[in-house]
């Protein structure tokens, strides 16, 4: 092999579809000491997910053959896919805030049921939003007025 071992190995973000495609289209180069034609056989590895379904590896292998059917050692390429980018909130800041009358229990229940939404470049289904409901904190001047702060 004239391509150095590990030269085609790469680590990419799961959202980098172009980079992944380019990495999959890479190929090593081999030469034959007698100058003949070298043919290649590629075995494309399937994606093997790690503990995170969006992260894992593709392991591709090649063998080269010369015209006399001499076979090279196996050349291995490892494409590592990572998901290290945090989700981002798509709900605007303060858009779930509400000011209500203390007697409007229906509106209070509706406001407490609201959840923000998030998006992620590698996960189209960001549903595992965890809500921590805050306790009612009365204002200093009126025990019926105050705030709930949910996170």
For the chain, what are the domain ranges? Answer: 10-82, 86-151
Partners of 49 in the beta sheet? 56
With residues binned 3-state (H G I as helix, E B as strand, rest as coil), the percentages for the chain, rounded to 5, are: 10, 25, 65
- With beta carbons less than 8 A apart as the criterion, state whether 10 and 19 touch: yes
Joined tokens for residue 117: 């939404």
Residue 63: the pLDDT is 96
User: pLDDT digit string (tens) for 95-121?
Assistant: 999 999 988 999 999 999 998 988 888
Give the 3-state secondary structure of residue 105.
Answer: helix
Which phi and psi angles does 105 have, rounded to 5°? -65, -30
The answer regarding whether domain 10-82 maps to CATH 2.60.40 reads yes
């490892």: which residue's tokens?
78
Q: What is the mean pLDDT of residues 42-59?
A: 91
Q: What is the model's pTM? A: 0.71
Tell me 122's DSSP state.
S
Q: State how beta strands 10-13 and 75-82 pair.
A: parallel
Residue 58: the pLDDT is 96
Alpha-carbon distance values, 46 to 9, 15, 43, 60 (Å): 15, 18, 10, 8
How much is the mean pLDDT over the chain?
Answer: 90
Joined tokens for residue 60: 């591709």
In the Cβ-directed half-sphere of 10, how many Cα atoms lie within 13 Å?
Answer: 15
User: pLDDT digit string (tens) for 14-41?
Assistant: 999 999 999 999 999 999 888 888 999 9
Instruction: Give which of 110, 75, 81, 77 is closest to 96, Cα–Cα.
Output: 110
């Amino acid at each position: 092999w004239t391509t150095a071992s590990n030269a085609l190995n790469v680590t990419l973000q799961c959202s980098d579809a172009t980079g992944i495609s380019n990495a999959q289209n890479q190929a090593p180069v081999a030469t034959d000491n007698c100058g003949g034609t070298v043919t290649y056989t590629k075995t494309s590895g399937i994606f093997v997910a790690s503990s995170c379904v969006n992260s894992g590896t593709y392991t591709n292998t090649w063998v080269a053959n010369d015209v006399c059917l001499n076979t090279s050692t196996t050349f291995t390429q490892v494409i590592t896919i990572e998901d290290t980018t945090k989700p981002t909130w798509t709900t605007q800041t303060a858009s779930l805030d509400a000011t209500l009358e203390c007697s409007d229990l229906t509106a209070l229940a509706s406001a407490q049921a609201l959840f923000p939404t998030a998006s992620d470049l590698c996960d189209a289904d960001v549903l595992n939003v965890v809500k921590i409901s805050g306790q009612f904190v009365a204002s200093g001047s009126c025990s019926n007025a105050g705030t709930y702060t949910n996170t």
